[in-house]
Structure 1
Amino acid sequence: MRRITATVGGIMPSDAATRPHAIPPDVLALLALPDPATLTEDQRRGIVCVWGDDRLNTLTAVDLGVQDATPRCWFPRACPTHAADRAHRALFDHASMCEQCTDAAEHCETSRVLYRLVREGRR
């Protein structure tokens, strides 16, 4: 079983209702996290971006939650730039296949979360 809790900017209160920037599991799946076996120990611990070699801090890192994996959990985080790049690609892929995005993208939760990641990473 895989438990996913992810946030933007490192904010992760215990109550999901108070997490305005939580990344839903379906959106996290679109970002395509790398296989933890291919990552360095620092990347698995969230010290370095999972998609690059940028060292991270708690103020700017995009927290991708605790990932349950065999043989142990890992704690991926990303730099805002790499998260925005992944979200940008995922947004194009998602929007082309989403009926809600075709009608009114602002009403699609997946589209809104991906767009927020893009916007926050491009600041």
Structure 2
Amino acid sequence: MPAVDTADVGPLALLPLPSASALPETQRRGAACVWCQTRLTIETAVDLGERSGPGGVKIFPRGCPDCVRAAALRTYGVHADTCEQCVDNPILCDTRRALRRLALEVRR
């Protein structure tokens, strides 16, 4: 994973999502988790930010806290294996810190 300035996009934007063209409408508009299809409410949803969907149509995906945490941990692991800064000195990697913080702080 290339280094990304997390101050500009935030760690949620770093999480890869399933292909938007494969998602049903409930997942595209954020009514259900993009990973596990659990129905979401204002209280349970983690907003993943506006994204581009098929044909340039905007989608508004959201995830449940468990799936967001799991996606953050997966992304953290992939990032740590491919980031030159993490290999040299992981303490200095802003992306790694942001993904770890996201995994620890996402509400249950």
The TM-score bracket by the shorter chain reads 0.7 to 0.9
The question of 1:105 aligning with 2:90 is answered: yes
User: Aligned to 1:95, which of 76, 80, 83?
Assistant: 80
1:112 partner amino acid: R
Listed as ranges, the gaps of 5+ residues in structure 2 are 1-6
Listed as ranges, the gaps of 5+ residues in structure 1 are 1-15
Q: Distance in 1 between matches of 2:101 and 2:44?
A: 14
User: Aligned to 1:34, which of 12, 15, 18?
Assistant: 18
Q: Distance in 2 between matches of 1:67 and 1:74?
A: 5
What are the equivalent positions in structure 2 for 1:1-123 lying under 5 Å apart?
22-23=10-11, 25=13, 28=14, 31-69=15-53, 70-121=55-106, 123=108
Q: CA deviation at 1:24?
A: 6.5
Identity of aligned residues (%): 45
How many residue pairs are counted as aligned between the two chains?
Answer: 101
Taking structure 2 as the reference length, the TM-score comes to 0.76
Greater fraction helix: 2
CA RMSD of aligned residues (A): 2.5
Taking structure 1 as the reference length, the TM-score comes to 0.68
Greater fraction strand: 2
